[in-house]
Structure 1
């Protein structure tokens, strides 16, 4: 089983909102990371692995979010993740937030595979073979409908 896209459902909790009951902007980034982790779990993968002398995981190289409409307390949003690029040491995702079928935000994430050993220096590493074989680039959005 391989994956190029994934859908994640997330309810807005009160503690994540501002005084107006609107999801605080920083939480969109947390939601995108939750979606990425759920995507990896759906493939039987881990985003972070600790070893006795270090770790391997995915650091953020770039992350952005464009807000179109607010999410509010108790809203249940769907996050649609698409793998848009795969390189030797990184993955890029486009994440679309929807509420009741309407797009409310769009995010982009570049995740770089990194590791550190006993010395503590963090450096970029090639994607693990299991990630490279299971995570694939999604077709362009709308490409299926264009035929």
Structure 2
């Protein structure tokens, strides 16, 4: 069975907020990334590949993010991040993301957007730039788009 989406729940913690108890914008990106990592775990794929005999390993850096903040979140709010694959390219994935505040009887959309991640080969020396590579077939066989 191919997977095209994943969701993860969070509770806003105090250290994720400013002095007004409103979530700092950078934490939305942490939650999105944690949801993406949970997606990788669900399909049994590494987020960061082991280094090979040439000291090269794979990873998925972000190439672009475009989000719109619709409403603030506050300390102790219950949150759900919905991540879905919008498009698969030869070396990258474009994700659609929505974040909801979960109320006792409803859900409220607080962020929506998209971002892309590129499958790359890294060198362990830290000197060379990542090199985009085709998404491995074993990975492609586990995912699909939501279209």
TM-score (normalised: structure 1): 0.88
The change in CA–CA distance for 1:25 and 1:118 in structure 2 (over 3 A counts) is: closer
Which stretches in structure 1 are left out of the alignment for 5+ residues?
140-147
Hey, what does 1:133 align to over in structure 2? 141
Hey, what does 1:50 align to over in structure 2? 50
Contact 1:29 1:65 in 2 (8 A): no
Cα distance in structure 2, aligned partners of 1:79 and 1:122:
28
Once the 2 structures are TM-superposed, how far is the Cα of residue 118 of structure 1 from its aligned partner?
6.0
Which stretches in structure 2 are left out of the alignment for 5+ residues?
none
Contact 2:57 2:124 in 1 (8 A): no
Cα distance in structure 2, aligned partners of 1:47 and 1:128:
13
Report Cα offsets for 1:39-70 as digits up to 9, x if no partner. Answer: 11111111111315122010110012211111
What count of residue pairs does the alignment treat as equivalent?
Answer: 139
Cα distance in structure 1, aligned partners of 2:60 and 2:68:
22
Hey, what does 1:20 align to over in structure 2? 20
- 5 Å matches for 1:96-115? 96-100=98-102, 101-115=107-121
- 5 Å matches for 1:23-34? 23-34=23-34
- Counterpart of 2:60 in 1: which secondary structure? strand
- Counterpart of 1:126 in 2: which secondary structure? coil
Report Cα offsets for 1:82-130 as digits up to 9, x if no partner. Answer: 1000001000111110112110111311000001236634210000222
RMSD over aligned Cα, in angstroms? Answer: 1.4
- Counterpart of 2:36 in 1: which secondary structure? helix
TM-score (normalised: structure 2): 0.88
Contact 1:63 1:109 in 2 (8 A): yes
